[in-house]
């Protein structure tokens, strides 16, 4: 019984984790910068490479973009794809979720 409850608790905890998936063939600059390690310049480089050379055939083709090497690929590989829709949580949604999850301070509780 304890194992079942533990398994359910783990499943519940993992289901709350939002998985971001960015399609590198269709993503906007904003969507690309949502990836850890990808700033505005690198996102623009990805877009320019895509415009010049066409769609990426595989996620590994992203390494053909100047500045994208093995260490960055290791960080973002699970978050990028070449098919499907981009699915990311907007920064405003993240902030509002974080704000509502914050416990009230003692001063706020007295009000």
Question: What whole-number distance in Å separates Cα of residue 54 and Cα of residue 12?
Answer: 40
What pLDDT score was predicted for residue 25? 96
Over residues 86-97, the pLDDT tens digits come to 887 655 444 444
Domains and CATH numbers, the chain: 25-90 (1.10.150.310)
Over residues 46-70, the pLDDT tens digits come to 999 999 999 999 999 999 999 999 9
Q: What is the pTM of this model?
A: 0.64
Q: Is a pLDDT exceeding 60 seen at residue 77?
A: yes
Q: Quick count: other Cβ atoms within 10 Å of Cβ 47?
A: 16
């Amino acid at each position: 019984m304890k194992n079942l409850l533990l398994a359910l608790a783990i499943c519940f905890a993992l289901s709350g984790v939002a998985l971001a998936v960015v399609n590198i063939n269709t993503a906007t600059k904003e969507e690309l910068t949502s990836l850890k390690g990808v700033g505005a310049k690198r996102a623009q480089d990805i877009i320019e490479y895509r415009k010049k050379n066409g769609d990426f055939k595989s996620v590994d083709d992203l390494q053909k973009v100047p500045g994208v090497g093995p260490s960055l690929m290791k960080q973002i590989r699970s978050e990028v794809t070449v098919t499907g829709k981009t699915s990311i949580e907007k920064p405003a949604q993240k902030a509002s979720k974080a704000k509502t999850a914050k416990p009230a301070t003692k001063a706020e509780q007295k009000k």
